[in-house]
Chain A
Amino acid sequence: MTETKQPIIQIRNVSKRFGKVTAVDNVSLDILAGEFFVLLGPSGCGKTTLLRMIAGFEMPTEGQIIIDGQDMSLVPPNKRPVNMVFQSYAVFPHMNVMDNVGYGLRISGVSKGEIRDRVAEALELVKLGGFEDRMPDQMSGGQRQRVALARSLVMRPKVLLLDEPLSALDAKLRAQMQFELSDLQDKVGITFVTVTHDQDEALSMASRVAVINKGEVAQLAPPADLYEYPANRFVADFVGSVNIFEGKLTLDEPDKAAVDCPGLGKIYLNHGVTGPHGADVWVALRPEKIYLHVPGEGKAIRAAAQDAPDGHNLARGTIKGMSYLGDITLYEIQLEGGQMIRVSRPNLSRHDQEDFTWDDKVSMHWRADSPVVLLS
């Protein structure tokens, strides 16, 4: 991952408008050779349009898409060095698996013997060896998706495009396919570009994620950075669960900063945020980074931690809602100021979920490196 990689796809100031609607708005980004790139965003954000422009099914209204050094403006989809796995899989229903996977090779005039070998190899890769004679309607959704994958991989494209590849699968199969896709990408070394609205999918598979909002790139970063260092409120909120509070920046030095949030209290950070003094900012705090304890007990824990001045990074409230999810319990807590905050607590022992219940008064604290200050 540390080696410098060449961009295989360069998207340069690409916009796409459908009539008055701007689906993609002046997007520029590079996708590097061999990476697992994910376009993440809510439905209707333009991520699929972007993918379809890379595939050649839509033409950019403005801008340029360069694949492997070649401008794709005038190149039709059937001449592009990319292949796509469709959301509906688009497995040809009137052909068996052999003919489906061999379709592209047959079109490009590869000899029969070589087609047979390469199809067998591709099917082996997606763990469908021996399924050559099956018809698509005799297969499950997961199997059909593997056929679609094999059909694209057999073409040995420079880039494999996947449109919501896991959205039609059930939860268990989806988790399994997430691993398999990552594994497969590792094995074949082809650049994968995936579109998804599912943040778990993006975080678990991607080497880098572009979060798209209203046709624009909200942030482009590796998954962990996206989660821990969101660039703005949209990313913080869309990727994972988060509490966001409005506040004013009262202190901003290279090694420390403080924000006064009327809803939450005084926030102290052990690093600077380059923002103008007194500016309106937002503080994002992930539910799992908040410690929950019985009032009074907190002092001792805080004394041990001592990473913030007294009266900072503390809050009190009343539990108003609880949902037990097995591995964690999620608490909805009403702060003294009236605002709600979400706190999650791992159930490290079998009885942890019994520690707190509805209407309990609780106090909370968090480490000085947990809050993220957002300027937009």
Chain B
Amino acid sequence: MSGALQDWKSQKKPFAAVVTAPVFWLALFFVAPMTIVWLYSFGQNAGPADIVISGTLDNYKRATEWLYLSIFLKSLAVAALTTLICLIIGFPVAMAITFAAPKWRPWLLLGIMLPFWTNLLIRTYALMALMGTNGYMNKGLGGLWEGASWLRTLVGMQPLEAWTPVQLLYNNFAVVLGLVYVHLPFMVLPLYSALDRLDKSLIEASLDLGAGHFKTFMQIVVPLAAPGIVAGVMITLIPALGAYLTPDLMGGTDSQMIANVIERQFKRANDWPFGAALSFLLIYAMFILIAFQSMRSNKVKEA
């Protein structure tokens, strides 16, 4: 098979025919705009619509001030927490799908992917409707509260005070919950594909050799699913780090993330050079994460 691939690669003309279009596309719509934004990050405003690329590092200096750095670090923390929660929730889900009867598996996977068919904005508003002070979550909690109050009167105790709705929205909790909701499928799918490839007789062999389910999970399942875990973490962490819509709609005044700050620079503040510098700091951070991952996977390949 690799021989056929070699032959195919050595056919220069068809190869060029296939490759030119995507390369051209990427150059025009990805590399060129990114280069422009990158150049902006070394420039300064010379008027409402004019940017002079002067090679200054002032934008980067300003971007690394504590005010912005703290938001950046906070974004990283929120993204990391989101990723961790996704991993904790996603692993059992992925395992359940792997071990489900084959006829159910496509349906369960469909269930995981179904949210993608809906616009992110609509999903976010739907979640907000659920979590609002008059939403179903609060109504459910209120119902439980009243039930508890009624039980107290039954045993002759004073009823509880009237239910006051809990503020579920517009805080960091809401942001993390929203991000987990949006990113969970990104975690489940790579985990599922890793677990699905895992030879089930390895699990049986471990049980057969006297290991319980927990030991088997820690010694066999987790190490062998490691590529899937790393892929899931990366594919969750990176978009969560750059999340814009969820903190914007569901967060409070103190839960803005770095993407919201960047958005403000480009729009309200009309400071494109500074926004560009912030953007590139984010991109550099992601590069570092991806570099770590590829170094790790190279090491695994060598071993």
Task: Show the binding face of A for B, using Cβ within 8 Å.
Answer: 55-57, 76-79, 82-84, 86-88, 90, 92-94, 103-104, 107-108, 135, 148, 151-152, 155
Contacts and interface: CB of A to CB of B under 8 A. Distances in A.
A76 B209 CA distance: 11
Given A86-B205, A93-B224, 16 more contacts: A55-B204, A57-B207, A77-B207, A78-B209, A78-B211, A84-B204, A88-B201, A90-B199, A90-B202, A92-B206, A94-B224, A103-B211, A103-B219, A152-B208, A155-B209, A155-B210
Interface residues of B, number: 18
Given A78-B212, A107-B210, A92 B204 contact: no
B301 to A, nearest CB: 11
Pairs of residues from A and B, 4 with the lowest C-beta to C-beta distance, nearest first = A104-B209, A90-B205, A90-B201, A86-B201
Contact of A84 (B202, B205, B220): B205
B209 A103 contact: yes
Interface string B180-212: 000000000000000000010110111111111
Contact of A107 (B199, B204, B209): B209
A79 B212 CA distance: 9
B201 A94 contact: no
B223 interface: yes
B220 A78 contact: no
A104 B210 contact: yes
Contacts, number: 61
B209 A83 contact: yes
Interface in B106-130: none
B204 A57 contact: yes
A84 B204 CA distance: 9
A82 B208 CA distance: 8
A83 B208 contact: yes
Contacts of B199: 88, 90
A78 B201 contact: no
A108 B204 CA distance: 16
B296 interface: no
A76 B208 contact: no
A77 B213 CA distance: 11
Contacts of A92: 202, 205-206, 220
A144 B227 CA distance: 23
A36 B207 CA distance: 24
A151 B204 contact: no
A86 B207 contact: no
Given A90-B201, A90-B202, A94-B223, A84 B210 contact: no
A138 to B, nearest CB: 11
B215 interface: yes
A88 B208 CA distance: 14
Interface string B144-178: 00000000000000000000000000000000000
Contact of B204 (A86, A93, A135): A86
A93 B194 CA distance: 14
A165 to B, nearest CB: 13
A141 to B, nearest CB: 14
Contacts of A78: 207-212
Contact of B210 (A88, A108, A135, A148): A108
A84 B208 contact: yes
B212 to A, nearest CB: 6
Nearest to A88: B201
A79 B208 CA distance: 8
A104 to B, nearest CB: 3
Nearest to A57: B204
20 contacts: A55-B204, A78-B207, A78-B208, A78-B209, A82-B208, A84-B204, A86-B201, A88-B199, A90-B199, A90-B202, A90-B205, A92-B202, A92-B206, A92-B220, A94-B224, A107-B210, A107-B211, A108-B210, A152-B209, A155-B209
